[in-house]
Amino acid sequence: MSNYIFNRTFPHTRLRRMRVSDGIREMVAESHLLPCHLIAPLFVIEGKNARQSIKSMPEIERLSIDLTIDYVKELYREGVRMVDIFPVIDPALKTPNGNDAYHPETLAVRAVKAIKDACPEMMVMTDIALDPYTTHGQDGIIDESGYVLNDITTEALVKQTLAHARAGVDVVSPSDMMDGRIRAMREALESEGFVNTSIMAYSAKYASAYYGPFRDAVGSSGNLKGHKKGYQMNPANRAEALHEVALDIAEGADMVMVKPGQPYLDVVREVKDNFGVPTFAYQVSGEYAMHMSAIQNGWLTENVILESLLGFRRAGCDGILSYFALKASRMMNEM
């Protein structure tokens, strides 16, 4: 390779020849982005024919289950094959321990059943964590000092996992960062016969300021006092991400995730190169808000949407969770 380059330099080698037409540019493209690479996060509310806008997330709405179904069908028509459910829980149902998380008729369970009934081909994933259900907005159960307790939180997450599996979810996705929860969830799923319910682990989830708009969307920001640095990772760390991923794979994760996305694509590349397992990243709410505010101000064009998603693919992502899922698929299908 290096000899080849040294022996044939300009003008024998003009890299611009491979950029001269659409045809050649498409032929030598090294990465590709398709609608089936996208996972659409959905905010689900109670009610009928109900929709609410989210101030910090332009064009994204919280939808009642009936309207969610229409949205899911539209995503499917555009080629998206997986959605991720985030329920917005009535404040009256929130408790310190977040018990509604595993109520057999909780909003997330009803949403999963309704979507699988209406559009069985669409894969449905659910978030496993307690933050939509707790009065304090933390992802787990806390002690008097506010410390999130690992092992009893894991027990609650296992109950939540089984409630979602019984509802027919295809993928459960723990976003809580408790230690050992993948093993506990996998063992519980196996023991109840859910051998094909897969786990997408938020393996390297960083304590990030980019989650702000999401917390507005699910209504946990007002409740959250303090931060999540006692369980989510320090943005300074790289090697620790590989350690987290190795443990989650050993414990039974089918897919691993890095989150947030764009500022952490170096981590995605290392995870893909080191482990070769299905690797995902989450283009989170703050990344969406940044892009949308610049687009709405006319400071950037909509072309940044597909460019940003292609960057995830180039970095090694098999799939990308993105609030742009519907808009980006439409853009791809119109090209």
Token readout for 334 is 């119109």
Residues 6+ apart with CB under 8 A from 126: 84, 85, 108, 112, 164, 169, 171, 172, 173
Distance between CA atoms of 296 and 122, rounded to whole angstroms?
A: 31
One of 85, 171, 284, 320 touching ligand PBG (CB under 6 A): 284
Taking the complex as a whole, the smallest distance from the CB of residue 5 to ligand PBG amounts, in Å, to: 42
312 belongs to the binding site for ligand PBG (CB under 6 A): no
Residue 205: active-site member: yes
Asked if residue 127 binds ligand PBG (CB under 6 A), the reply is yes
Q: Which residues contact 317 (CB under 8 A, 6 or more apart)?
A: 37, 268, 272, 279, 280, 281
We find the least distance from the C-beta atom of residue 301 to ligand PBG, in angstroms, to be 23
Instruction: Give phi and psi for 111, each to the nearest 5.
Output: -65, -45
100 binds ligand PBG (CB under 6 A): no
Q: 95, exposed or middle or buried, with CB in 10 Å at 0-12, 13-18, 19+?
A: middle
Site string for ligand PBG, 43-82 (x = CB under 6 A): ----------------------------------------
Site for ligand PBG in 218-247 (CB under 6 A): 228
Q: In angstroms, how far is the first alpha carbon of the chain from the final one?
A: 35
Q: Name which of 194 and 214 has its Cβ closer to ligand PBG.
A: 214
Cβ proximity to ligand PBG: between 35 and 41 the closer is 41
State the Cα–Cα distance between residues 219 and 214, nearest whole angstrom: 8
- Give the 3-state secondary structure of residue 124: strand
By CB under 6 A, residue 131 contacts ligand PBG:
yes
Nearest distance, CB of residue 288 and ligand PBG, angstroms: 7
Candidates 40, 101, 129, 182: give the one binding ligand PBG (CB under 6 A): 129
Kindly list the distances between the CA atom of residue 184 and the CA atoms of 162, 176, 233, in Å, as whole numbers in the listed order.
Answer: 11, 14, 21
Tell whether residue 88 is a contact of ligand PBG (CB under 6 A). Answer: no
Told to judge if 55 belongs to the known catalytic residues of this protein, a careful annotator would answer no
Window of 72-80, 211-219, 296-304, 310-318 that interacts with ligand PBG by CB under 6 A: 211-219
Active-site residues, by number, are: 205, 259
List contacts with ligand PBG (CB under 6 A): 127, 129, 131, 139, 175-176, 211, 214-215, 228, 284-285
